[in-house]
Amino acid sequence: MTGRSTQLFAAAQKRIPGGVNSPVRALRNVGGEPFFVERARGSRVWDVDGREYIDYVGSWGPAILGHAPKVVVDAVQAVAERGLSFGIPNPFEVELAELICEWMPSIEKIRMVNSGTEAAMSCLRLARGFTARDKIIKFDGCYHGHADSLLVQAGSGALTHGRPDSAGVPKSFADLTISLPFNNIDLVRKTFIENKDEIAAIILEPIPANAGLYFPENNFLSSLRDECTKHGALLIFDEVMTGFRVARGGAQQIFGVKPDLTVLGKVIGGGLPVGAFGGRAEIMDRLSPDGPVYQAGTLSGNPLAMVAGLSQLRELERIDGWKLLEDLGAQFEQLARAAVAKTKIELTFHRIGSMFCLFFCSGPIVDLTGAKRSDLKRFTRFFHACLERGVYFAPSQFETGFISTAHTTDDISRTAEIVGEALRSL
């Protein structure tokens, strides 16, 4: 990268650790320097040096309508004129709570927060407070934010940078977290037996999307539901990625499994910082001020984030966005698979709805061990070959791509052509 982006990155490194405010943005996993964005609209981003890219990162998931959708921008501008933050209840947080509870019936009550990390952390505290137990089961490669007890065999940036167990996390915290291979229900059953009456909850991404993208097998999710019910533990679905993206009711709608608690973020904020967690009323009622489990946030329920999320969700419903996303995703899958079939490189393509991942290894891939077989050097060359041709995919093998309703069939066709060119260049 040259030009103003290079100058900005040099300046950033003097004042910001690594020059970025979230590790994966540094492009350390693929080499080179990050580009700095000047503006974004629809399916495109433009960097400060004037280069244009078809974007499949979408702010890491929230931009389901594309960048700067008019319906969201107009709503935010109108509310901003009346105040940016109150620290006092506002009508939009009630409206968004009602809409989420309607679309996700497992959520009877919900608490708004400011990030997915905060929501997941709060869920665990609530689960421990409700069950009076301390231990948590999570799964290798599932990422639930950077709270101390969850940075054990984590995905996303922790995996990308080779530090699944972060420095600064006390061993006593990590000892309360049991990380198991995804899709292995026998080990879950064994763990419950070996930790009788000690497991407060199982937390997982029902569709893991922070170690690439792979899927629950057979009756894995329903079996987790059964085991939690049998042993008096709570089942927590982290749907920060999948919530309102893979379906109107998230992954829990697709698989027909009802969690006790759900973690949300990304899409429900319309591009502004947001998170939320909710579930059964009897559990949620343990939160302060009604119950003994403390949780608070100065900017929680911020009117700008609430109205942005409301506008985005209502627009998705109005345009039948999930059908449009499925159609675009299916088109991309067909063309991408055709491109893959023309190469001798070992590749595995996964997709559900508007989420996708191309692994640089052979399948099947059903867990983190499978994902880590990917050829990272080949992925690096592929990433840069696409970027040079004007397509921006996530700069890590262990991230997921996102299609938005702003992507056109022409965007998809052009992207597939570039994917083919990039693969042939390897």
* Interval 371-398: pLDDT, tens: 999 999 999 999 999 999 999 999 999 9
Lowest mean pLDDT among 112-116, 147-151, 314-318, 352-356: 147-151
- Regarding whether 145 and 291 lie in a shared domain, the answer is yes
Read off the pLDDT band of 160 (50, 70, 90). Answer: very low
Residue 73 has pLDDT above 60, yes or no: yes
pLDDT attached to residue 162: 38
- Both tokens of 6, joined, read 């290079």
Last residue of a domain, one of 292, 317, 342: 317
- Regarding whether 24 and 80 lie in a shared domain, the answer is no
Number of structural domains the chain divides into:
2
Read off the pLDDT band of 345 (50, 70, 90). Answer: very high
- Regarding whether 210 and 285 lie in a shared domain, the answer is yes
Residue 258 has pLDDT above 80, yes or no: yes
Last residue of a domain, one of 300, 317, 334: 317
Read off the pLDDT band of 153 (50, 70, 90). Answer: low
The catalytic residue positions are 143, 238, 266
The Cα–Cα gap between 99 and 222 comes to 26
The Cα–Cα gap between 64 and 56 comes to 10
- Regarding whether 327 and 183 lie in a shared domain, the answer is no
- Regarding whether 299 and 187 lie in a shared domain, the answer is yes
- Regarding whether 170 and 268 lie in a shared domain, the answer is yes
Residue 159 has pLDDT above 50, yes or no: no
pLDDT attached to residue 167: 76
Phi, psi of 179 (to 5 degrees): -105, 125
pLDDT attached to residue 158: 46
pLDDT attached to residue 161: 39
Domain that holds residue 15: 4-68+320-425
Last residue of a domain, one of 277, 294, 317: 317
Element (H, E) at 220: helix 220-231
- Regarding whether 48 and 19 lie in a shared domain, the answer is yes
- Regarding whether 74 and 63 lie in a shared domain, the answer is no
Contacts of 279 (CB under 8 A, 6+ apart): 106, 107, 108, 109, 259, 260, 261, 262
What's the mean pLDDT in 205-211?
97
Half-sphere exposure of 371 (CA within 13 A, CB side): 28
Residue 11 has pLDDT above 50, yes or no: yes
Q: Give me the chain's average pLDDT, please.
A: 94
pLDDT attached to residue 1: 56
- Regarding whether 22 and 92 lie in a shared domain, the answer is no
- Regarding whether 381 and 233 lie in a shared domain, the answer is no
CATH number for the domain spanning 399: value is 3.90.1150.10
- Regarding whether 216 and 178 lie in a shared domain, the answer is yes
Per cent of the chain over pLDDT 90 is 90
